[in-house]
Amino acid sequence: MTRIKKTRKAGGTAPKQAPRTPKSERVPTSKKRDTGNKSGSRQNPGTEKQGNRSGKGKQDPRLGSKKPVALELAPQTQPQVKAPKPKQPKLSDEQLLLKLEEDPRLNELLDRLEEGRVLGAEDQRWLDEQLSKIEALMEKLGITDIDEAQGEDSDDDDALLARFESGADVLKQYQDKD
């Protein structure tokens, strides 16, 4: 018996296929997506992406922030609540004056001036500010310089004696009232 090869052609009983249409008449079934960069985008610096960055247009939020990120995880404990700093009581004028006069920087700068050294501009400005604060506090408290008080009284011994005697009279008057 002779061998008969099978054919792919359907016989007369098989359904017929639609005839082929030319390529120019075909309708595309789906639109091809544009993925990736366009050709030559590396060599052409005037592309859209660089134009958006240089302009003040809307920036992509996915670019991320510049804030550093800790690489180690901190152990999870109770969140630390910052305790408010206790307010220092307001100093009285006398206490403030003593604090200003006992300042080591002020004393050092005054010693330099007495030795005849020249101070820098910043040091001189700070010294002037501190001295003006001290002077204002002394005026407010009614304190006069000791040097000025001694200078007035040392000139006239009779005035000093009269002042002493008048103080004794005031003391006697006070004692008599009781």
Q: What is the pLDDT along the chain (178 residues), one digit of tens a residue?
A: 789 888 877 777 877 788 888 888 888 777 777 777 778 777 776 655 544 445 555 677 777 778 888 888 776 666 667 777 777 778 788 888 888 888 999 889 889 888 888 888 999 999 999 999 988 888 888 877 655 555 554 557 888 788 777 777 777 777 887 6
Backbone angles phi, psi at 2, to 5 degrees: -90, 150
- Cβ within 8 Å of residue 94, ≥6 positions away: 141
Nearest CA-CA partner of 134 in 84, 169, 100: 100
Convert 89-126 into a string of H (helix), E (strand) and C (coil). CCCCHHHHHHHHHCCHHHHHHHHHHHHCCCCCHHHHHH
Convert the chain into a string of H (helix), E (strand) and C (coil). CCCCCCCCCCCCCCCCCCCCCCHHHCCCCCCCCCCCCCCCCCCCCCCHHHHHHHCCCCCCHHHCCCCCCCCCCCCCCCCCCCCCCCCCCCCCHHHHHHHHHCCHHHHHHHHHHHHCCCCCHHHHHHHHHHHHHHHHHHHHHCCCCHHHHHHHHHHCHHHHHHHHHHHHHHHHHHHHHC
